[in-house]
Amino acid sequence: EVKLVESGGGLVQPGGSLRLSCATSGFTFTDYYMSWVRQPPGKALEWLGFIRNKANGYTTEYSASVKGRFTISRDNSQSILYLQMNTLRAEDSATYYCARELGSYAMDYWGQGTSVTVSS
């Protein structure tokens, strides 16, 4: 059974940093692109970026809204995906989801989400 479990969310002050984790199981982690998506309360989904699979060199792509502030990485030995978030702003407050990509056709499995609140 495929499982994705996020952790690491919480309350952080503006300008602060936070690292989210996504522990995965039930599939060959290195075979898949992995994405992060967020959703502010009551708003639509926003893709933040992905990290490619082993065959594509584990390279990354980001949305303009987080490029330079957020970094996606992966620990392939433990099948964990990370999102390092720096210089956080109030508008980064959202539920953050990790998701597995189905060969760039879709995101076929999602975690349950972890909530991040940026506030003083």
Burial of 70 per CB tally in 10 Å (0-12, 13-18, 19+): buried
Site size toward another protein (CB under 8 A) is 24
Q: Are 100 and 2 in contact (CB under 8 A)?
A: yes
107 touches another protein (CB under 8 A): yes
Q: Which stretch binds another protein (CB under 8 A): 9-17, 23-31, 78-86, 100-108?
A: 100-108
**Considering the complex, what minimum distance in angstroms separates the CB of residue 77 from another protein?**
26
Of 76, 25, 37, residue with least CA distance to 53:
76
Per-residue x/- track, 50-89, another protein (CB under 8 A): x----------xxxx-------------------------
Indicate whether 36 belongs to the interface with another protein (CB under 8 A): no
Nearest to 58 by CA among 84, 38, 31: 31
Nearest to 23 by CA among 100, 108, 120, 104: 100
Candidate segments 7-15, 21-29, 78-86, 108-116, binder of another protein by CB under 8 A: 108-116
Binding to another protein by residue 102, rule CB under 8 A?
yes
Q: Please count the residues of the chain.
A: 120
Using CB under 8 A, list all residues that contact another protein.
35, 37, 44-47, 49-50, 61-64, 97, 102, 104-113
